[in-house]
Amino acid sequence: MSSTDLRYEVFVSDMVPVATPPRPDDGPSLWSSLSHALIYGKNEALLTDPPLTLEQADTLIKWVESHDVALRYIYLTHAHFDHFATTNYLLRRFPDVTVVASDAVLARITRETPGGVFPDTLRNIFGDVLPEPPVTVQGSVFPAGGLLLDGHELLAHEVGHSDTDDTSVLHVPSLDLVIAGDVVYNNVHQYLGEGRDGGVDAWHQALDKVAALKPRFVVASHKDIQRGNPASDIEETRRYLDVAAVVLQQATTPAEYFDAMKQRYPERVNPWAIWLSALQLFGN
């Protein structure tokens, strides 16, 4: 997609096998696919949300390099580890890049990677595919007045809670584009492990803020590779939340929640994400 000399493209990293927790239906346990948007003009580019594993990062580096445009910025939408894990690894290849994010995102990354390392729980899930320390990101706060990329304005908006706190989105007005991070999902089962205690309602408010930008295109971080980037994903994400809220009221165990959401959305990608959510929602 393009507008005059500014363009965007999306690369989707494959799903990653995980060691635990196994699904109750014996289906494959996989971490959801991850999308990365490259916004670029004739001279410079910005990349969003580096991937989880070293193999994914190496593939993404080759894809970025194929555009033959200088990478100037990496933008982080939020502090879930799968959206920043390989940032420092990418900086070895692109040492002149400036990492930008909200102050809240940078602070949370620092808190959640003490000593520059991931918690042991993540190593138990993913093994040796994760990058070596240090993984704590040294970034700059995204300027309140926005950034210019080849003369085009890029704006960051803090939208509050989505599938986690302190989420932000990137708005590219000249492309009618929003890079939505985890605020919007694209036909992938949504992570709702942080959805209790008002989390679902807050996520609706974040969706309202994205919709108010009136984008034509919305890039979801967890995305079905068979689909485009339609703004209609905002409402699809909202409908999933509404269904999940009802199921959450009715279910009494993680298995009940898993079965009900899988039954209601049999075509959505990666049911393992339902199970991960269920275990956290029900405290197991």
Per-residue pLDDT at 4: 59
- CA distances in angstroms from 187 to 42, 138, 160, 162, 220, listed in the order given: 33, 33, 22, 16, 9
Is the entire prediction scored with pTM above 0.85?
A: yes
pLDDT at 75: 98
Within 10 Å of residue 153's Cβ, how many Cβ atoms? 14
Flag whether pLDDT at 205 surpasses 90: yes
Mean pLDDT along residues 18-40: 96
What pLDDT was estimated at residue 284?
63
Name which of 198, 214, 114 is nearest 157 in CA terms.
Answer: 214
pLDDT mean over 73-99: 98
Q: What pLDDT was estimated at residue 283?
A: 86
The pLDDT assigned to 3 comes to 47
Domain count, the chain: 1
**Token digits of residue 11:** 């690369």
Tokens standing for 181?
Answer: 């991070």
Give the percent of the chain with pLDDT over 90. 95
For residues 54 and 126, give the distance between their C-alpha atoms in angstroms, rounded to a whole number.
Answer: 11
Which structural domain, as residue segments, surrounds residue 242? 2-281
Query: Which pLDDT score, from 0 to 100, does residue 1 have?
Result: 45
Q: How confident is the model at residue 2 (pLDDT cuts 50, 70, 90)?
A: very low
Q: Exposed, middle or buried, 117 (CB in 10 Å: 0-12/13-18/19+)?
A: middle
Provide the CATH number for the domain around residue 61.
3.60.15.10
Q: Return the minimum-mean-pLDDT range out of 55-64, 85-94, 118-127, 155-164.
A: 118-127
Mean pLDDT, all residues of the chain: 96
Digit-coded pLDDT (tens) for 147-180: 999 999 999 999 999 999 999 999 999 999 999 9
217 Cβ contact partners less than 8 Å away, ≥ 6 residues apart = 1, 8, 175, 176, 177, 178, 229, 230, 231
* Mean pLDDT confidence for 97-124: 96
